[in-house]
A = this chain, B = another copy of it.
Amino acid sequence: MALIVEKFGGTSVGDVDRINAVADQVAHTKTSGVQLVVVLSAMAGETNRLLDLGARVSPASEHREIDVLISTGEQVTIALLALALEARGVRARSYTGDQVRIVTDNVHGKARILDIETHRIEADLAEDRVVIVAGFQGQDLEGNITTLGRGGSDTTAVALAAALNAGECRIFTDVDGVYTADPRVVPNARRLSQITTEEMLELASVGAKVLQTRAVEFAGKYGVTIRVLSSFEEGPGTLISQEIDEMEQPLISGIAYNGDEAKLTITGVPDEPGVASRIFGPLSDAHINVDMIIQNVTGDDTTDLTFTVHRNEFAKAKEILDATAQVLGASEVIGDQTLAKVSVVGVGMRSHAGIAARMFKTLADEGINIQLISTSEIKISVGIADRYLELAVRSLHRVFGLDESPEHEMLGPAVD
C-alpha cells in the first residue's frame, strides 16, 4: 500500500472550519487506499500570540522556554484533527515531536533534525490508522523540547517522508504551486508543473517562500519527491523531484528575489591563510546565516571581503564583525542595509553560455547598478539597491521568456 505524507500549513488549519475541511480531505484521501501520515502547523497567528505572551513576561527570550511555550500551537491542531477524523469514522492518532520522537540538536528555535524514530508510526499505520504528527518541533538528546524555526513543519514532513520511505510528500499551502517568479511582483508569472530539487533549492534559498530551504535540502539528500499543492483549490500543483526529463528542461525555471538583505564589507584585511575562518567563525557561533560571500583582490598584501546577511541579523553581525576587525587589524567595516538580491535559476544554464551576459545587459538597460555578483552552477545572483527590486524581477522575467512563451512550460504529466 502506498505511503503518502501530507503537510498542512497554518492558514490551512487556521480555524475550526478549516480543520474540518482538512479532515474531509484527509478522510477522502484515506478511502483511496493509501497509508497516510499528516503533518500540521499551528493555527495561523497562534505562534505569534504565544510569542507575544512570552514577550509580556520577559524581554529576553530564553530559548528553551520559548520552545516549550510555542510548541503547544501544533499540539492543539494535531489533537483537533485527530478528533475530527475520529468523528468521521477514520481511525487516527496524534503525536507531538517528542512523542514520535523526532530527535534534534539542541539549538533552541533553530534546531536541526538528527534522527526520527519510526516504530510507533509504523505500528499505527499497520493498524490502518492515520498518523498525525506535530510539525516544527522535536526533542534534543537530553529530552528538552526544541523547535525548528519558522517554516519548520515543511522539514518535519519531508524528514518523515524520508524516514518512512514515503512515495510522495504533499505540501498543502496557500499557493497552488511553484511559480516562475513571485506573482505579487510579476502578475503574469506562470506555475511550473515540474522542477528539480536543485532548482527549487536555489529558488527557496533566495526567497521563493513556497517551501522551507531545509525541507528541500532534505528532499534532495534523501530522494524525497515533493508535490506543492493548494489546500484551498484542486489542481496538480508542482512536482519537485531529483531528475526531470532533459527534453522538457527549460533554460531558466524562475526568477527569485529577496528584498531583506544587508551587506557588510570588511576592508584592509591581511591577506593570509585562515583569515576567512577567523571572520566567519564568530558569525557561525552566533548562528547568523551568511548568504553571499565575495572576496575582492586588491593587489597589495591586504584584501576586502563582502558578505550579505538577513536584515534582521545586520546589527548583531556588525557588532561581531567590528570586534573581529579590531583583532585582525583590518581598516574598516562598512554596512549597507538597503540591499536586495535577484537571482535567475535553471538547471538548463549548465549547458548554455550567455545567460550571465544577458542578465547583466538587461539590468544595465534599466539603469540598475550591480553591487555584487555571485554564481553557482544553476544560479546567477546579483545584489542591487532594494528600490530597483520589482523593476529588475519583471525585466528579467520578460527577457528570459517566462511571461508567456509555451516553450518554457514543462510538459511532463502530473504523477499521482
Contact = CB atoms under 8 A, between A and B. Distances in A.
Interface stretch (A64-72, A197-205, A363-371): A64-72
Contacts of A16: 53, 56-57
B79 A69 contact: yes
Contacts of A82: 62, 64-65, 68
Contact of A66 (B79, B81, B143): B79
Contact of A83 (B54, B79, B83, B99): B54
Which among A20, A56, A66, A92 has the greatest number of chain B C-beta atoms within 10 A? A56
A395 to B, nearest CB: 48
B79 A68 contact: yes
Contacts of A79: 54, 65-66, 68-69
Contacts of A92: 65
Interface string A70-94: 0110011011111110110000111
Given A86-B62, A120-B143, A57 B80 contact: yes
A137 to B, nearest CB: 12
B58 A69 contact: no
B83 A66 contact: yes
A19 interface: yes
A12 to B, nearest CB: 15
Nearest to A57: B84
A415 interface: no
Interface residues of A, number: 42
Interface in A30-59: 50, 53-54, 56-59
Nearest to A99: B143
Interface in A257-285: none
Contacts of A145: 96, 99
A80 B94 CA distance: 25
Which among A66, A120, A143 has the greatest number of chain B C-beta atoms within 10 A? A143
A94 B70 CA distance: 13
A120 B83 CA distance: 33
- Grouping DSSP codes into helix (H, G, I), strand (E, B) and loop, the A interface class, with mixed when no group exceeds half, is helix
Contact of A76 (B53, B78, B86, B98): B53
A70 to B, nearest CB: 8
A195 interface: no
B76 A69 contact: yes
A321 interface: no
Nearest to A134: B68
A23 interface: yes
A60 B75 contact: no
A83 B57 contact: yes
Nearest to A91: B62
A145 B76 CA distance: 13
A58 B86 contact: yes
A119 to B, nearest CB: 11
A342 B255 CA distance: 78
A97 to B, nearest CB: 12
Contacts of A61: 83
9 contacts: A20-B57, A53-B76, A57-B84, A58-B86, A58-B87, A62-B82, A68-B82, A69-B83, A120-B143
Interface of A: 16, 19-20, 23, 50, 53-54, 56-62, 64-66, 68-69, 71-72, 75-76, 78-84, 86-87, 92-94, 96, 98-99, 120, 143-145
Given A65-B82, A69-B76, 12 more contacts: A16-B57, A19-B57, A23-B57, A53-B76, A54-B83, A58-B83, A59-B87, A68-B78, A68-B94, A75-B75, A98-B98, A120-B143
